[in-house]
Amino acid sequence: METVIAKAQAHYSFFEGVERNFDKASKYTRFESGILEQIKACNSVYRMKFPVRIGDNIEVIEAYRVQHSHHKLPCKGGIRYSMDVNQDEVMALASLMTYKCAIVNVPFGGAKGGIKINPKKYTTFELEKITRRYASELVKKNFIGPGVDVPAPDYGTGGREMSWIVDTYASLKPGEVDAQACVTGKPVSQGGVRGRTEATGLGVYYGIRELCNVAEDMQKLGLTPGIEGKKVIIQGLGNVGYHAAKFFFDNGAKIVGLSEYEGGIYDEKGLDIYKVVDHRKNTGSILNYPGATNFTNGADTMEQPCDILIPAALENVINGSNAARIQAKIIGEAANGPLTPDADEILGAKGVVIVPDMYLNAGGVTVSYFEWLKNLSHVRFGRMDKRFSENQYGTILHAVEGLTGKRVTDTERTLLLHGPDEVDLVYSGLEDTMIGSYHEIREAMLSLPGVDMRTAAFTVAINKVGMAYEELGIFP
């Protein structure tokens, strides 16, 4: 253990960390070095600077859009607004998107974008000007479009920003019937899909639930199968963290710790996620929640006893300096890159199961795919078959009641006759995707003795991308 910790002092970039994981997995694939180098490389990197008038002054804004892979089109990836945005980070996130899409069988190449700003510093009007200018720059260079590159929300952005982008794109591409499909994560009124907001957090829940349902794997960790009763700590209460916490709590898990930028709280008896959120609304902080222990440094919360730890904020929060103190038996990477490769080694040596980000937080891109399909088809999911299904269920129920002479209750009747709404179909598609992809990764892990889940996931992704390149005939 000391040797592993000593190695942790080396510093490397986020993108170098992704490449390191890629190289670790690539030796388990059959592809020659040239194909592997092509898969690993970022195909297109667009770094831009543009002026925007803010108040009485003109600010020069730095922004990026990276298309990592064109083995499938369009490319897909979010846009984040943060002062931490830089080329290395955007390249790393774009490459992870390629592998993420491959793992969950979403036919996109990976991309990512970012604007180096602090969104809290600007008014809504100023943010709109920055966003629309960024979108127009992407249009100029053909870095956005339904069949080219489809952005989505990420850290610091949401449906509002996506609405500005789609409106800008449509105004610059008059008559393009599929303009709404140029971005995903839009409000439902602007062509968004129901279920997109909670998709990543729900996907995190589905993925961890599937792991916990495998009795053999739980026995190795000294845990009982199932989610119910598992002690969970969640770092980050943004969109992903909140919804992950909500679904775990609603399904019987015990939320024992929560952390945010102002600090963290811990209570081994369990926290009511809804009451914590209300407490934060009333006081401006999760700290001083009744019955909970406060941590002024939110990162300390992650080191408390639990079964499952969900880092759901930014990258590199678990690294060589704190990994040895983590007490969780399962770590689910809801954020992008929350563990450094050194942390992987330290925790792996302790027998901790790490469910990698490139699989676990793929719920967002999966449901974005559904939204993209909805925009291209120009019809809401469920519109064509909801009433037909309800009528068919009614006919079957009527026949059963006639044969048995028994009538169901009104509550049972409502449940039995319910035809699928759009959100039902989205949840169903996401659940099926996360379950199927988990077992695909697990089978790869079992077939490669001694390989962890991250390496298995990379191996699965590399194989899929490599096969796509071969089928395209790019390498004669």
Positions marked catalytic: 112
CA gap 50, 400 in Å, rounded: 68
d(CA 165, CA 139): 10
| C-alpha to C-alpha distances, 136 to 86, 146, 153, 166, nearest whole angstrom | 20, 15, 17, 10
Residue 296 has a CB neighbour count (10 Å cut-off) of 9
| Beta-bridge mates of residue 235 | 259, 311
At 255, list the tokens: 């939320």
What secondary structure does DSSP assign to 21-42, as a single string? HHHHHHTTS---HHHHHHHHS-
Phi-psi region of 57 (alpha: psi -120 to 50; beta: other; left: phi over 0): beta
Sorted by sequence, the CB contacts under 8 Å of residue 221 that are 6+ apart come out as 329, 330, 351, 353
User: CA dihedral defined by 118, 121, 122, 128, rounded to 10 degrees?
Assistant: 20
Residue whose C-alpha is closest to residue 4's, from 345, 347, 455: 345
Determine the length of the chain. 476
Which pair of tokens denotes residue 465? 């991308």
CA pair distance 319, 72, nearest whole angstrom: 33
Query: Is the peptide bond preceding residue 187 cis, with omega within 30 degrees of 0?
Result: no
Question: What is the greatest pairwise CA distance in the chain?
Answer: 79
Amino acid at 453: M
Number of Cα atoms under 13 Å in the Cβ half of residue 134: 28
Please state, in angstroms and rounded to a whole number, the distance separating the CA atoms of residues 154 and 76: 12
Pair type for strands 109-115 and 57-67: antiparallel
The sheet carrying 254-260 orders its strands as: 293-295, 263-266, 254-260, 231-235, 308-311, 330-332, 353-355
